[in-house]
Amino acid sequence: MSQFHIIVFGPLLGFLIAGLFGRRLGDRGAMGVTTGLVTLSAVLSAFALKDVAFDHNQYRILVLEWVRSGTLSFDWVLNIDTLTAVMLVVVNTVSALVHWYSIGYMSHDPHRSRFFAYLSLFTFAMLMLVTSDNLVQMFFGWEGVGLASYLLIGFWFKKPSANAAAIKAFVVNRVGDFGFSLGIFALFMLTGSVVFADIFASLDGVADARFIFLGYEVHALTTIAVLLFIGAMGKSAQLFLHTWLPDAMEGPTPVSALIHAATMVTAGVFLMARMSPILELAPGAMTLIMVIGGATAFFAASVGLVQNDIKRVIAYSTCSQLGYMFVAIGASAYGAAIFHLFTHAFFKALLFLGAGSVIHAMSDEQDMRKMGGLSKMIPLTYVMMMVGTLALTGFPYTAGFFSKDMIIEAAFATHNSMGSFGFLMTVVAAFMTSFYSWRLVFMTFHGTPRADEKVMSHVHESPAVMWVPLAILAVGAIAAGFVFSDYFIGHDRFDFWAGALVTSHGDVMDEAHHIPGWIKWLPTGMMALGFLLSVLFYVVKPGIPKSMAATFPGAYKFLLNKWYFDELYDRIFVRPAFWLGRVLWIRGDQKTIDGFGPDGIAATVLAAAKRIRVLQSGYVYHYAFAMLIGIAIVISYFVLTGGGF
Amino acid sequence: MSDVLTVLPELILAVGAMGLLMIGVFSGDKSYGLLKWLASGLFAVAFLVMIGSGAEQKLAFGGMFVTDAFALFMKSVVLTGAVFALGLSGQFMRERGIARFEYPVLVVLAVLGMMMMVSANDMLALYIGLELQSLALYVLAAFNRDKLRSTEAGLKYFVLGALSSGMMLYGISLIYGFTGSTSFAEIAAYGIGSGTNGLGLLFGLVFLISGFAFKVSAVPFHMWAPDVYEGAPTPITVFFGTAPKVAAMALFVRALIVSFPDLTQQWQQVVVFLSVASMILGAFAGLMQTNIKRLMAYSSIAHMGFALAGLATGTVDGVQGVLVYMAIYMLMTAGTFAVILGMRRKDGLTEDISDLAGLAKTRPALAAIMATLMFSLAGIPLLAGFFAKLYVFMAVVEAGMYWLAVVGFVTSTVAAVYYLRIVKLMYFDEPNENIEPLKDRGIAYVGFVTAALNSPLHLLLIWPLTLAAGLAAQSLF
């Protein structure tokens, strides 16, 4: 029994207690147990980070031997290195704060014990994912968080849109999971193990191995890296598999903050960082990651420019920031990716919870066109949102400034053949990020109120249980950057990561420190430009956006409709799938299989049974006749075949 | 003297039957209960003597009679079945006024015939045993002689039995004509000739098999079974369903395996035909039955089909499967009939399946026993019936007769419908009329013991059973 057992199994215990005895405990009991246990985990995680990352201890704690089957062998393990410790802090801290926040936010909901049970289940699954030392346990956690996400998106199951969003998230993730599982199989086939340490140890021998698939000879490690990346794309909502993330905002806002901003969606980044030794040997996959990451950063930011739903703006922002992280992965700057993951968790959770506070104040209104002028009425929330926005846009010396700028610099310095594409995309995205973030602030908090008086009269500041978590996150959003940057991405990074990531002297991070000065200040300039344009559009001359939209209706609609991805997928996948399903259901199942199968067989059987009953006439001579016919048939058979001698 | 020692169990039954007859003649029908106990005692003594004399092969009377592990195993099953049948014939026989002293005597004589069938090592011994058994059974079927259906059953069974005996004798005469012997060993030693000679022997074999098929009620020689099962007094139906089937199957197996090893390819085809036809007809015809005794007749036909599938392989494993199957089949059948005898409403016994509705609510213990037996008959895993089928199917698959296994799987699925329908009736339907509590302890004992032996408890016993069956099967090869 170590502190790690408590960290990991505390949330599970909370889930079990709240889930099984929630009704008997009552809502207060369920909330108290889950929140208390997760908070304990969060506090212990902070100590664990110090222990692992700064005192340089590593742990491998066996929970139980899991599978021993032929050459397939792995255990259920708590594997604690720096990467895991960082994730423990992120997951447990945000989770604990979200638990606290939810006590206030969900205070009117009748199903609170179920909600808190799901939150704790999610936390446990996420911890399973980050503590694993093998791909199977990781996949278990991976599916666990997917399940919790599904349950929480569809938490308000009476809302059809919430159910649809939950199903969409599940189905889209399935596409990614298919890639992930194929990747696991391929890795096992190639290296004979699913345990990270064994896989990495055997990589040298298989660096040039090739698979033959349908006559094509492909580089094995590149294929595997691409398959794993497809898994990461699904979970981390990268371009083409991103469509579920905006819809996932149908879930309660604390869920969006925890799962769809800070933790679960970053699992893909975590997976890629874990697999960094493989990626280093798969340059083709790195190019793909760079392209997809850069394209996602640009695409999502551009869509975020025109959205009117406050949560959707932040959702697209999340999508875009995840793109940044993958650009960092593609540039081999794994430390930068994890650093951005770390800082992003704070300021994005802050923004979501702040948005939740706004929505709470506005009587569940999410449309920013119906907000405005809230800065004086909910000043605390206003300040928090300002902090979050500054950190997100990369205002100097806030968290985002360090992590995001590092990514852009790494993209400039990298030798990845698509590095310049990534660089360009992230720079433009930085500009757009600034624009839409300030747009959100101005539309929500400044100008004249656009909501009706009834709503405005109800506007109130959130209770302490909600704003205190915001304040803690705000501290992180400001300080996480300059406190940790030296360790994550600076000179101390070799000691800090201690082999958990691929780091070496003279790598892209070193190169990124020696780039022209104007590149270093380019993101900040973009940020300032975006801010100024936003001020012009939404404060100085509020008529501009409308006239812009009227002047370029095509472009505006294109962005507003999210590049028509949903419509496209609907045409290409959803409708044909429904059509096929209907054909198989009515023609295939009901008419063919049921007709000839169950119903048909049942009818035939009964008909046959009736006929046999007629044979059983009760007359002895009928019976004797049957016996003689039987003999005659057998004898004739032998006469005709000659008896087989 | 050694001959006498070898047939000592049979001698005990023969002399004992005479003794019982004397007691019955002098003290009349009031000795019915006593005679039942004495008959059971005779079976117990015969069993102990048989066990005591061991399982090694011993020939008697110039090789006409043989005892070996196979005989020991099958005779044990026969005797157990007979004891169950006697145990179930208390209240019912008294109520119908047919608790007559002849009944235990006839049962002992029939069992004597069966033991001779099991040990027969010569065509003539075989025929004598068979006829001794059959004559007793004809009388038993018509035992309720004032009831039209009982006498009709007895008469039908007698006429058709005579026909089948005639055909079998014709077969035996052909075999004798072509091989010059009636001894199993000498027929086997003769081997097969070529051309018409072999074909003639084969004709004889087919007629012989038709006689066996009649006794085990395999299709198309099965048609007497539903009528006789329904018409005979129920305790006698229990007897019909258990001991004679086992003995006839033993005869079937020994005669084919021991005397016709060179004709295996040929008789396999016949047995496969009987097996497939029985499995299919038993499964499908059972679906339409409303009378539970008739249902059990079709169930028995289907089960004989499964057992014959084991024989059709002609391998040691197959024969072992048959033996295990027959032992478990006997237990399932005896138990089910015990429950049928317990289906008593205010106005008397009922045989209607629909009267079982809601039994779980009114008589939960009886329903639990019946459900266990039905699941076992259907071959649901973890119950004895499943292992019975499993061993046969494994042998069939190992022998490469895949399509026979497929037919077995499909038909057992179809047959499961009528077993499970009874469970559904008992547990999910509303009772229409209450079944009375059990008054007959024999029914309760037999029902409980057989249900327990079919329940997952049998996992403790299945290993020794298969081991014994394996030894018994090996003694034939």
* Number of CB pairs, chain A paired with chain B, less than 8 A apart: 83
Number of H helices, E strands in chain A: 30, 4
Angle ∠(A437,A439,A445) on CA atoms, nearest 5: 100
**Partner residue opposite B192 with nearest CB, options A620, A622, A645:** A645
**Partner residue opposite A610 with nearest CB, options B220, B281, B288:** B288
User: Which of A303-317, A364-378, B266-280 shows the highest mean pLDDT?
Assistant: B266-280
- What pLDDT is stored for residue A597 in this prediction? 67
What's the start-to-end Cα distance of chain B, in Å? 28
For the whole model, what pTM was predicted? 0.63
Angle ∠(A478,A407,A518) on CA atoms, nearest 5: 90
- Record: contact A631-B167, CB cut-off 8 A: yes
User: Which of A159-173, A295-309, A578-592, B305-319 shows the highest mean pLDDT?
Assistant: B305-319
Structure tokens at B356: 């079982």
Residue range A236-291, pLDDT digits in tens:
888 888 888 888 888 888 888 888 888 888 899 999 998 888 888 888 888 999 99
Dist CA B71 CA B125 (whole Å): 14
Q: How many CB atoms lie within 10 A of CB B457?
A: 13
**Partner residue opposite B266 with nearest CB, options A612, A630, A644:** A644
Query: Which of these, A368, A380, A357, lies nearest to A306 by C-alpha position?
Result: A368
Q: How far is the alpha carbon of A65 from chain B, nearest alpha carbon, in Å?
A: 30
Dist CA B224 CA B157 (whole Å): 6
Nearest chain A Cα to B160, which residue? Answer: A624
Angle ∠(A236,A239,A241) on CA atoms, nearest 5: 65
Mean predicted confidence (pLDDT) in A105-112: 83
- What pLDDT is stored for residue B19 in this prediction? 94
| Selected residue with higher pLDDT from A570 and A423 | A423
Helix axes A310-330, A419-445, angle to 10 degrees: 160
Q: How far is the alpha carbon of A190 from chain B, nearest alpha carbon, in Å?
A: 37
Structure tokens at A528: 């300032």
Residue range A190-208, pLDDT digits in tens:
888 888 888 888 888 887 7
CB < 8 Å to B160, chain A: 620, 623-624, 627
Angle ∠(B375,B290,B152) on CA atoms, nearest 5: 115
Q: How far is the alpha carbon of B310 from chain A, nearest alpha carbon, in Å?
A: 20
Q: How many CB atoms lie within 10 A of CB B439?
A: 11
Q: Which of B148, B288, B290, B298 to mutate to test the interface with A (most CBs of A within 10 A)?
A: B288
Interface contact B269, partner A, CB < 8 A: yes
Dist CA B114 CA B31 (whole Å): 25
Is there a contact between B241 and B149 (Cβ–Cβ < 8 Å)? no
Query: Which of these, B30, B14, B9, lies nearest to B105 by C-alpha position?
Result: B14
Coil/strand/helix, residue A451? coil
Residue A64: phi, psi to the nearest 5? -160, 155
Interface contact B224, partner A, CB < 8 A: yes
- Record: contact A616-B285, CB cut-off 8 A: yes
Interface contact B264, partner A, CB < 8 A: no
- Record: contact A626-B285, CB cut-off 8 A: no
Q: Can you name the residues that pair with B58 across neighbouring β-strands?
A: B67
Nearest chain A Cα to B157, which residue? Answer: A620
**Distance from CA of residue B375 to its chain's centroid?**
20
Q: Of all helices (H) and strands (E), which one includes residue A382?
A: helix A379-393
Structure tokens at A196: 């990270």
Dist CA A68 CA A55 (whole Å): 34
CB < 8 Å to B265, chain A: 644
- Record: contact A635-B285, CB cut-off 8 A: no
Q: Which of A616, A617, A636 to mutate to test the interface with B (most CBs of B within 10 A)?
A: A616
CB < 8 Å to A609, chain B: 284-288
Band of residue A506 on the pLDDT scale cut at 50, 70, 90: low
CB < 8 Å to A643, chain B: 198-199, 202, 266
Is there a contact between B392 and B312 (Cβ–Cβ < 8 Å)? no
Residues in chain A whose Cβ is within 8 Å of chain B: 605-606, 608-610, 612-613, 615-616, 618, 620, 622-624, 626-627, 629-631, 634-635, 637-639, 642-645
Question: Mean pLDDT by 10-residue block, N- to C-terminus, for chain B (477 residues)?
Answer: 87 94 91 92 94 89 92 94 91 86 94 95 94 94 89 92 94 91 89 67 92 92 91 92 94 93 89 94 87 92 94 93 94 92 83 87 90 93 91 92 92 91 90 79 89 86 90 91
Nearest chain B Cα to A640, which residue? Answer: B199
Dist CA B199 CA B197 (whole Å): 5
Is there a contact between B80 and B73 (Cβ–Cβ < 8 Å)? no
Residue range A392-406, pLDDT digits in tens:
888 888 888 888 888
Residue range A41-90, pLDDT digits in tens:
999 988 888 888 888 888 888 888 888 887 888 888 888 888 888 889 88
Q: How far is the alpha carbon of B152 from chain A, nearest alpha carbon, in Å?
A: 10
**Distance from CA of residue A128 to its chain's centroid?**
15
CB < 8 Å to A639, chain B: 199
Mean predicted confidence (pLDDT) in A475-481: 86
Dist CA B318 CA B214 (whole Å): 21
CB < 8 Å to B272, chain A: none
**Partner residue opposite B220 with nearest CB, options A626, A638, A644:** A626
Nearest chain B Cα to A643, which residue? Answer: B199
Dist CA B8 CA A469 (whole Å): 95
CB < 8 Å to B285, chain A: 609, 612-613, 616
Residue A428: phi, psi to the nearest 5? -60, -40
Structure tokens at A148: 């919790």
Residue range A160-169, pLDDT digits in tens:
888 888 888 8
- Record: contact A624-B160, CB cut-off 8 A: yes
Is there a contact between A95 and A258 (Cβ–Cβ < 8 Å)? yes
Half-sphere exposure for A215 (CA within 13 Å, toward CB): 0
- Exposed e or buried b for every residue in A428-444, given b needs 16+ CB within 10 A? bbbbbbbbbbbbbbbbb
Q: State what percent of residues in chain A have pLDDT above 90.
A: 8
Helix axes B102-119, B8-27, angle to 10 degrees: 170
CB < 8 Å to A627, chain B: 160, 163-164, 167, 210, 214, 220-221, 223
Nearest chain B Cα to A630, which residue? Answer: B220
- What pLDDT is stored for residue B196 in this prediction? 56
Angle ∠(A549,A555,A559) on CA atoms, nearest 5: 95
Q: How far is the alpha carbon of A645 from chain B, nearest alpha carbon, in Å?
A: 7
pLDDT at residue A505 tops 70 = no
Query: Which of these, A432, A450, A469, A424, lies nearest to A99 by C-alpha position?
Result: A469
Number of H helices, E strands in chain B: 22, 4
Query: Which of these, A153, A123, A129, lies nearest to A142 by C-alpha position?
Result: A129
Rounded to the nearest 5 percent, the helix, strand and coil shares of chain B are: 80, 5, 20
**Partner residue opposite B287 with nearest CB, options A606, A620, A626:** A606
- Record: contact B206-A630, CB cut-off 8 A: no
Nearest chain A Cα to B203, which residue? Answer: A635
Nearest chain A Cα to B269, which residue? Answer: A634
Is there a contact between A195 and A137 (Cβ–Cβ < 8 Å)? no
Nearest chain B Cα to A604, which residue? Answer: B284
Nearest chain B Cα to A642, which residue? Answer: B199
The secondary structure of B200-235 as a DSSP string is: HHHHHHHHHHHHHHHHTT-TTS-THHHHHHHHS-HH
Summary mean pLDDT of chain A:
85
Q: Which of A601, A620, A621, A640 to mutate to test the interface with B (most CBs of B within 10 A)?
A: A620
- Record: contact B285-A609, CB cut-off 8 A: yes
Is there a contact between B291 and B352 (Cβ–Cβ < 8 Å)? yes
- What pLDDT is stored for residue A359 in this prediction? 86
